[in-house]
């Protein structure tokens, strides 16, 4: 049981790191979008390629994402990421501690 407990704790840690990294990527892409970025810049292209799939998932829902010309899709994605971090990662840690 100790091996399973350590495995679940490792998965929870890894998932937390991935969620945190993606959160920072979303924040960086949102900050870059406020200025007039060069669309041929490699960093801008990478940020947009990484964040566009998550934004498109949010925009496909019935939730309006544009208010007064401001796109709130990044905020919704950040909220979902924080929920997943608190709920799923927390649940995995609790299960690992119980084993």
Average pLDDT over residues 19-24: 98
- Is residue 15 exposed (0-12), middle (13-18) or buried (19+ Cβ within 10 Å)? middle
- CA–CA separation, 43 vs 49, rounded Å? 10
Closest to 99 measured CA to CA, from 11, 14, 2, 13 = 2
Average pLDDT over residues 49-63: 93
**Model confidence at 1, in pLDDT bands (50, 70, 90)?**
confident
Please state the φ and ψ torsions of residue 71, each to the nearest 5 degrees.
Answer: -85, 120
Average pLDDT over residues 63-77: 92
Instruction: Write the DSSP symbol of residue 83.
Output: H
């Amino acid at each position: 049981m100790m091996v399973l407990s350590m495995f679940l704790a490792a998965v929870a840690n890894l998932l937390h790191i991935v969620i945190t990294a993606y959160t920072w990527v979303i924040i960086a892409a949102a900050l870059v979008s406020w200025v007039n970025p060069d669309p041929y810049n490699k960093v801008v292209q990478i940020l947009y390629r990484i964040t566009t799939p998550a934004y498109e998932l949010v925009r496909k829902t019935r939730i309006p994402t544009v208010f007064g010309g401001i796109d709130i899709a990044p905020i919704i994605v950040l909220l979902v990421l924080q929920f997943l971090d608190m709920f799923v990662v927390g649940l995995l840690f609790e299960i690992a501690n119980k084993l």
